[in-house]
Amino acid sequence: METFILTIITAATPLLIAAIGELVVERSGVLNLGVEGMMVMGAVSGFGAALLTGWPLLGLVAAILAGTLMALIFGVLTLTFAANQVATGLALTIFGLGLSGLVGESLVGLPGAKLQPLYLPFLTDIPHVGRILFGQDIVVYLSIALVAGVSYVLFRTRLGLIIRAIGNNHDSAHALGFDVVAARYACVAFGGACAGLAGGYLSLAYTPQWVENMTAGRGWIALALVVFASWWPWRLAVGAYLFGTVMILGLEAQARGIDLPPQALAALPYLMTILVLVLMSGTRILTRASAPANLGQPFIPDR
Amino acid sequence: MKRLVLVLLLALCTGAGALQAADKLKVGFIYVGPVGDFGWSHQHDQARQALQRALEGKVETTYLENVSDGPDADRAIERLARDGCGLIFTTSFGFMDATVKVAKRFPDVKFEHATGYKRAPNLSTYAARFYEGRYIIGQIAARMSKTGIAGYIVSFPIPEVVAGINSFMLGAQSINPNFKVKIIWVSSWYDPGKEADAAKVLIGQGADIMVQHTDSTAPLQIAEERHIHGFGQASDMIKFAPHAQLTAITDHWNDYYIARAKAVLDGTWKSTDTWEGIGGGMVVMAPFTNMPDDVKAMAEATTSKIASGALHPFTGPITRQDGTTAGEPGKPLPDPEILKMSWYVKGIDDKLP
């Protein structure tokens, strides 16, 4: 049971981190489909930096920086030059996958430095729950803190109000004197940082190695989670953990020889997550109310 | 004016292309994964580079990586053919139908499809008898396991994979008739995260030997972390698991690729069906490590017996999962039956998807 839960946590954490970043981006009215690309750049940069310096923590910093830089490319194109966000996001993913393969060519096949889990004397040794509560690596705790932080900032602070206002109606927000483009830049950068961190988690903790395309579609799952969680941070956490749980349960069932087609088991996490999150979002009016009204629309200041 | 320049440029490009094609053989490769997967596609790309070096000046190689099995493959292969490739290797089972289709459209181009069974006058097939290696690792697994349970991570239920599981099991049963294997289908050739999760689940259920028929090093790394043993896949993965890897079944395509390119250059290329194993050098076992000397001696003895042909993993009669038997007593199963294998041997509790 303990290993089961530990496996779920490592599977859910990268999804959660990438998704919470994208949630903020979308709340500000920007749709960045480049999560996969930023994530994979985070993975290669994090791995490379950790290998060069021997410090996995520095690797995480490098991963965050790489993700942010990628996001800023997206920002310049879509915010400054008001390019189409969908097309730019897709291009960012393709670009990230290609570039990471190029810069990571010499890193393939090298065993890297692994981010060590936390160890607190006594606390970590508590049977059954010690390793789950006190024996994770710092990124896991950070992911929970991020959800709490984002939830607080978005709904309890003036800054959050501004972000949501910009996402819902950028013209009104602009008329009120808020700098729409600057706020969106900040949100996009935050989203990139999170995606980069999620990528770094993959190459430093989840499977400490660099191989091309190692994100294997996790960026897209994160994007889907944001929508199905109807842009609510805590729902997102539920969704990510549910996805991880059902995925690991599917593997458990297979290894126990339970007679279900593995293709169905592989599809189950997606189905379950969609189902539960749709049920959770309750009435359709509520869902529509939480979707940022100006999502994906370019903003061109008129003066 | 602009248009004129464009036309001139185009003419120049195609002219140059034609000139190049005339004096050099262009060889194209299609990979299912990234060349940096350090597994299946990596080994094919190593062989491509070897070909480039061996026939320097006579061949020019090019490749497309990360080509998925579906309709994408069709376009990718056609692109290489249109680019002037005279010889094209499509290196995954899933490219079979796409290769057949494109081969029909380009009768002058020679095609080589790995691990398939459909041929045409300009389409050869080639594969390695990986199942030979799997028999050896089955024997090692049965000797090294304390729990008597191996975890086996697999991709898709194609004949090659199924034959691999059966061969592994027959090898293991030759040592320990009660040996058990727990199987997880991850429905992907390459997803390090999911492979790692599967490995953790299998270990949680008592497996202390990790076997994989997927392409990343993740399962072996988990084996290293949890202090159990495992086997590398496609390439030697000892760097990722210095204490865990017992051996690895590695693919060596170099000689084959060089021979086939030479045949095209000489004009002696014919549509053939090549299936080589340990004896023919296409399958090479990585050094046997992390095991006691007597286990190592056994593994080496089995390897040489298989290489010489004295031992065939699929020697009849083989009892299938449903109780029926396959093969004639004392004789190896005919190749077509191995190439189309879609049943489990007795002793495997899993059900084929």
- Asked if the Cβ–Cβ distance from B192 to A251 is below 8 Å, we say no
**B169 and B205 belong to one structural domain:** yes
List beta partners, residue B334.
none
CA distance B310 to chain A (A): 35
- Asked if the Cβ–Cβ distance from A108 to B36 is below 8 Å, we say yes
**B56 and B204 belong to one structural domain:** no
Judge whether residue A288 has pLDDT over 70.
no
**B104 and B117 belong to one structural domain:** yes
Reply yes or no on domain A2-115+134-290 having CATH 1.10.1200. no
- Number of folded domains in chain B? 2
| Total CB pairs under 8 A between chain A and B | 119
Q: Could you say which of B128, B156, B191 is where a domain stops?
A: B128
Whether residue B194 lies within 8 A of chain A, CB to CB, comes out as: yes
- Asked if the Cβ–Cβ distance from A101 to B38 is below 8 Å, we say no
Nearest CB partner across the interface for B240, out of A202, A206, A209? A209
Q: What tokens were used for A103?
A: 């810069």
- In B, minimum Cα distance to A252 occurs at B201
**B134 and B236 belong to one structural domain:** yes
A72-93 tens-digit pLDDT: 999 999 999 999 999 999 999 9
Domain extents in chain A: 2-115+134-290
Whether residue B200 lies within 8 A of chain A, CB to CB, comes out as: yes
What pLDDT score was predicted for residue B39?
78
What pLDDT score was predicted for residue A211?
83
Question: pLDDT-based confidence at A285, cuts 50/70/90?
Answer: low
Q: Is residue B76 part of a domain?
A: yes
A233-281 tens-digit pLDDT: 999 999 999 999 998 998 888 888 777 787 888 888 888 877 777 776 6
**ipTM, two decimals:** 0.80
> Residue B80 sits in a domain of what CATH number?
3.40.50.2300
Region of residue A247 (left: phi > 0; alpha: psi -120 to 50; beta: else): alpha
Q: Could you say which of B128, B143, B166 is where a domain stops?
A: B128
What pLDDT score was predicted for residue A284?
62
**How far apart are the two ends of chain B, measured CA to CA in Å?**
62
**B36 and B173 belong to one structural domain:** no
What pLDDT score was predicted for residue B314?
95
What pLDDT score was predicted for residue A190?
98
Place of tokens 């304390």: B146
Q: Is residue B193 part of a domain?
A: yes
Q: What tokens were used for B145?
A: 């396991």
Q: Is residue B350 part of a domain?
A: no
Report chain A residues whose CB lies below 8 A from the CB of B204.
3-4, 7, 252
**B313 and B168 belong to one structural domain:** yes
Report chain A residues whose CB lies below 8 A from the CB of B218.
207, 209
What pLDDT score was predicted for residue A283?
60
**B166 and B124 belong to one structural domain:** no
What pLDDT score was predicted for residue B15?
44
Place of tokens 């109606």: A169
CA distance B268 to chain A (A): 37
**B124 and B139 belong to one structural domain:** no
Residue B209 sits in which domain range? Answer: 130-251+283-339
**B228 and B315 belong to one structural domain:** yes
Q: Is residue B124 part of a domain?
A: yes
What pLDDT score was predicted for residue B174?
96
Q: HSE on the CB side for A249, CA within 13 Å?
A: 13
Check if the beta carbon of residue A210 is closer than 8 Å to that of residue A111.
no
- Asked if the Cβ–Cβ distance from A251 to B201 is below 8 Å, we say yes
Query: Under DSSP, is residue B31 helix (H, G, I), strand (E, B) or coil?
Result: coil
| CA nearest to A69, candidates A49, A51, A45 | A45
- Asked if the Cβ–Cβ distance from B192 to A214 is below 8 Å, we say yes
**B134 and B224 belong to one structural domain:** yes
DSSP B92: S
Render each residue's pLDDT in chain B as its tens digit; 353 residues. Answer: 444 444 444 444 444 444 444 578 999 999 988 887 777 888 999 999 999 999 999 999 999 988 988 778 999 999 999 999 999 999 998 999 999 999 999 999 999 999 888 999 999 999 999 999 999 999 999 999 999 999 999 999 988 899 999 999 999 999 999 999 999 999 888 888 999 999 999 999 999 999 999 988 899 999 999 999 999 988 888 988 999 999 999 989 999 999 999 999 999 999 999 999 999 899 999 999 999 999 999 999 999 999 999 999 999 899 999 999 999 999 999 988 998 899 999 999 888 87
- Cβ-based neighbour number of residue A135 at 10 Å: 19
Q: Is residue B352 part of a domain?
A: no
Q: What tokens were used for B343?
A: 């049943």
DSSP for A205-273 reads: IIS-S--TTTTTTHHHHHHHHHHHTTT-HHHHHHHHHHHHHHHHHHHHHHHTT-SS-HHHHHHHHHHHH
- In A, minimum Cα distance to B191 occurs at A216
Give the pairing of strands B123-128 and B273-276. parallel
Q: Is residue B278 part of a domain?
A: no
- In A, minimum Cα distance to B221 occurs at A207
- Cβ-based neighbour number of residue B100 at 10 Å: 17
**B173 and B138 belong to one structural domain:** yes
**B101 and B151 belong to one structural domain:** no
Provide residues of A within 8 Å CB-CB of chain B: 3-4, 6-7, 10-11, 14, 101, 104-105, 108-111, 202, 206-214, 216-218, 247-248, 251-252, 254-257, 259, 261-263, 266
Q: Could you say which of B109, B128, B147 is where a domain stops?
A: B128
A161-198 tens-digit pLDDT: 999 999 999 999 999 999 999 999 999 999 999 999 99
